[in-house]
Amino acid sequence: MNEVYPQIYLVTLDETLSQRLGYKRSTEIITAGTFFLHKLKHELKNRGEIVNDEAEDIVSIALNINREIHEKISEMDLVKTPNIIYTLAYQDGIAHAFERYLQNKKTGEYNQPGRIATTICSYERIIRTKHSDGNYWDEAYYAGYLNGLKLINVCGNEPSIINEFPFLYLPNVKKEIMNINDYERALKKVSPKSKYYRYAKKIVNEHTAPGVIVHHPPY
């Protein structure tokens, strides 16, 4: 049965292990296990079998930026400008996407080629459904989560993309809002008669209270 025994590979520093085992279909790789795994991972990355392996530092920076901006937006008056509720939900979505990545990055879930792209397509469908249903608060949240996934998917290859990432959001705005000044100007242009304003007012009335910061539930 020697010809059909499975081939095994022994990664070891013990040059006599194979002789002592007496297994005919074995190949010895005489090196330290840590070094072997390092080289194996490097080769898999070169072949494109492992992706997004360099995203951790950039995602951590982006998460901190998002938190800082979120804190500033949270200090604004929701009663006077209820459309802020969309921005807060959007930033919650960003935070949850980044936090989940940082928590699960060692599982390999985010390193599978095509995995994030498939998830992105799923969230695009969710966003369209939420918009069609008139649930603009959920739509804003999933838009943030979607953009968070997009950053994770590309930032390892393009670190500078963080400079172009939209941390601010308002519905029905034609151009991405990239700073607080533009955001405040966009808020002033929101019509109280718009469907987004009316829906935001409803959410604010249902969920706010003095001293309470509204957060969108995860996923």
Same domain, 74 and 154: yes
* SS3 of residue 82 by DSSP: coil
Residue 213, domain member (yes or no): no
pLDDT of 1 over the 60 cut: no
For residue range 119-136, list pLDDT tens digits in order.
Answer: 999 999 999 999 999 999
91/198 same-domain check: yes
| pLDDT score, position 25 | 77
Q: Are residues 101 and 193 in the same domain?
A: yes
Does residue 118 carry a pLDDT above 90?
Answer: yes
Helix (H, G, I), strand (E, B) or coil at 11: strand
How many residues in the chain?
219
* pLDDT score, position 81: 93
- Do 147 and 85 reside in the same domain of the chain? yes
The pTM score is 0.83
pLDDT over 70 (residue 86) = yes
Range of the domain at 126: 56-207
Judged by DSSP in three states, 127 sits in: helix
Q: Same domain, yes or no, for 74 and 157?
A: yes
Let me know whether 131 and 34 are in one domain.
no
65/138 same-domain check: yes
Same domain, 82 and 183: yes
In a domain, residue 87? The reply is yes
| 34 lies in some domain | yes
Residues 141 and 101 in one domain: yes
Q: How many domains does the chain have?
A: 2
Pair 22, 106 in one domain: no
Q: Note whether residue 216 is domain-resident.
A: no
Give CA separation, 193 vs 175, 198, 212, in Å.
Answer: 21, 7, 26
Same domain, 7 and 25: yes
Distance CA 110, CA 99 (A): 13
| pLDDT average, residue stretch 191-218 | 85
Nearest to 84 by CA among 95, 92, 149: 92
Q: Each residue of 129-177: pLDDT tens digit?
A: 999 999 999 999 999 999 999 999 988 778 888 999 999 999 988 888 9
Q: Is 164 helix (H, G, I), strand (E, B) or coil?
A: helix
> In this predicted structure, what is the pLDDT of residue 2?
59
pLDDT at 42 over 60: yes
